[in-house]
Structure 1
Amino acid sequence: MEFGYVISGFAVGLLVGVTGVGGGSLMTPLLVFLFGFKATVAVGTDLLYAAITKTGGVFVHHNTHKSVDWRVVGWMATGSLPSAVITIFVIKHLIQIEKDISGIITHTLGVALILTAVALIIRSYLTRKKMREIEDTIISSGRFDKIQIPATIFTGIILGALVTISSVGAGVLGTLALLFLYPKMSTLKVVGTDLAHAIPLTAVAGFGHWTLGHVNFELLGTLLIGSLPGIWVGSHLSVKIPEKTLRLILATLLLVIGLKFVLV
């Protein structure tokens, strides 16, 4: 079974390396349906898994591409981190009153996967529709629309709760929100900024689930053994495989899995 975890980690890592999405969206359902883990353990383990695997990507985006807008990261985190902490306390309270949270997490996970599938298709359309500008003069000069900052914080609040409950949404939903909120921000900077925000969010949410006993560290280590090489290989293959086809397949898969979770 441990070999199966390594292979699964490699497969998900490979897909993430090629398409840039699919980590939490695929890993959590995989752990639930293929390996039979409880939804709570799958979510908690996947959150820490995401925090670790995405850290390397941020180093590349920040040091090599200079494609992280840390002010936007800060505004999103202002909403998402407190939201994640509050959500953990709500989950803890539900456990204390002996409320079955597995059903809540499973249903939320299904909804998050469906939203992610739709967001993936919309994001692909937005990024293909026209070449986004290399740099946003409004952002680079420090001038922001009055609605952008509160809207970014509010987006963080929604993402914080959704990601903490389901482990899904920090990637595709986050980038989709940034594409709408900052239409002149380059795609590379959108990806880098969302990736940078996802790390503290998944780390805080993952730590919260750890305190609730929802993290399997043996599983986490085994998944990482497979996923880290998978991401490296996928990153090199990304220029050779048609991304449009892969993202359509991924969106369809997420939609089917999401409906299965919702209808269970």
Structure 2
Amino acid sequence: MIDSTFVLAGAVTGFVVGLTGVGGGALMTPILLFVFGIAPTTAIATDLWFAAITKLFGARIHYRAGQVDWQVVRRLWAGSLPVSLGVVLLVSAGGVVAKAEWLTNIVVGVVMLTAFGLIFAPRLSAAARGRRLSNPDRFKAMQPGLTVLVGATLGVCVALTSVGAGALGTVMMMNLYPLRMTPHRLVATDLVHAIPLAVVAGMGYLFAGAVDWQMLASLLVGSIPAVIIGSQLAGRVSGRWLQVALALVLLSTGLKVLI
């Protein structure tokens, strides 16, 4: 049975994801945990599949617009997919799924880090742009290895918490590719990278039987049309105001849990 409250949550998150590339995990997982009171493993498991399917529809719009930077995507995959697969093996063995309270604490930590990253993203990007222009050869030589390392970091975060591929990935790509990543290209590249990462990370939870399929269906009813609308608007309007609003929501959520 479709639940209208989950449909609404899916629609809001889907629109944010389509417009900014951020929110599939950073927004939805806290909503499931702290608004709906869903068990941590169920929330993370369901959100991973929610993010994979929702972002697939959004990424298709951006792909048709020719905005995906495939070189950056491949570098990120080189780090994120094997690392997330390693975490999946731990999940399948039951070593992570059983630690529900620990997972909640990790989610809160990643959410807080994400919020600060989004708030200070323009300043960090400006500093990176200065480094890129002052020493271009050295900066470009470091990009491949650092991008793989960023991918590996995202692989750990996403596999454990479902949070990070969009929000943290966006901030990190802005710093690694300050001249190359236009806002539209940033969203497109981030979405395409996140899809197989969410699928690989979600497999462990799927095999553990942690996915709530009824809740997932309700979320997708709202998110799929909303992510398409958000993706179509991505090249026309700035999503910066939405990123700031999202960061403030995440920050307040994290502080509320900690306090």
CA separation of 1:86 and 1:100: change in aligned 2, threshold 3 A: same
The counterpart of 1:155, out of the listed 135, 138, 150, is 150
- 2:91 pairs with 1:91: yes
Is the 2:61–2:228 contact (alpha carbons within 8 Å) kept by the matching residues of 1? no
The separation in 2 between residues aligned to 1:68 and 1:235, in whole angstroms, is 13
- Write the distance in 1 (CA, Å) between the matches of 2:41 and 2:159: 11
Deviation of 1:93 (Å):
4.0
1:33 aligns with 2:34: yes
Quote the offset at 1:231 in angstroms: 2.5
For structure 1, the residue ranges without an aligned partner over 5 or more in a row are: 133-143
Equivalent residue number for residue 133 of structure 2: none
**Counterpart residue identity of residue 161, structure 2:** S
User: In the alignment, what sits opposite 2:170?
Assistant: 175
Out of 218, 224, 227, which is 2:223 matched to?
A: 227
The one-character-per-residue Cα deviations of 1:191-222 (angstroms, maximum 9, x if unpaired) are: 22222111110111112211122211111111
Amino acid at match of 2:54: T
Paired residue total: 250
RMSD: 2.9
Q: Does the CA contact (< 8 Å) of 2:27 and 2:246 recur in 1?
A: no
What residue number does 2:78 align with?
A: 78
- After TM superposition, the structure 1 = structure 2 runs for residues 50-199 of structure 1, keeping only pairs within 5 Å, are 50-64=51-65, 66-95=66-95, 100-125=98-123, 145-187=140-182, 188-199=184-195
Distance 1:246 1:86, change over 3 A: same
SS at structure 1 position matched to 2:180 = coil
1:9 aligns with 2:5: no
Structure 1, 69-78 or 87-96: larger mean CA deviation: 87-96
Secondary structure, counterpart of 2:205 in structure 1: helix
Q: Does structure 2 retain, via aligned residues, the 8 Å contact 1:11–1:227? A: yes
1:140 is aligned to none
* In 2: Cα distance, 1:167 partner to 1:19 partner: 17
1:24–1:50 Cα contact (<8 Å) kept:
yes
Q: Please give the alpha-carbon distance, in whole angstroms, between the structure 2 residues aligned to 1:34 and 1:158.
A: 27
The 2-side partners of 1:23 and 1:222 are apart by 15
For 1:181 and 1:247, the matched residues in 2 are separated by: 19
| Post-superposition offset of 1:33 | 2.0
Q: Deviations over 1:39-75 (max 9, x none)?
A: 11101110111111111222222222x2222222112
Cα pair 1:8 1:226 within 8 Å, conserved: yes
Q: Identity across aligned pairs (percent)? A: 40
Matching residue's letter, 2:170: T
Aligned-partner Cα distance in 2 for 1:56–1:17: 9
The residue type paired with residue 145 of structure 2 is: P
Query: Residues 235 and 190 (structure 1 numbering): CA distance in 2 closer, same or farther, change over 3 Å?
Result: closer
Aligned pair in 2 of structure 1 residues 45, 172: CA closer, same or farther (>3 Å)?
same
8 Å contact kept, 1:163–1:169: yes
Instruction: Identify if the C-alpha distance between structure 1 residues 189 and 216 changes in structure 2 by more than 3 Å, giving closer, same or farther.
Output: same
What amino acid sits opposite 1:21 in the alignment? V
Aligned to 1:170, the other structure's residue is in SS state coil
Determine the C-alpha separation between the residues in 1 that align with 2:69 and 2:13.
27
State how far apart, in whole Å, the 1-side matches of 2:144 and 2:232 are.
36
Asked if residue 206 in structure 1 is aligned to residue 202 in structure 2, the reply is yes
SS of 2:25's equivalent? helix
Tell me if structure 2 keeps the 8 A contact 1:77–1:156.
Answer: yes
One-letter amino acid of the counterpart of residue 170, structure 1: A
Give unpaired runs (5+ residues) of structure 2: 130-138
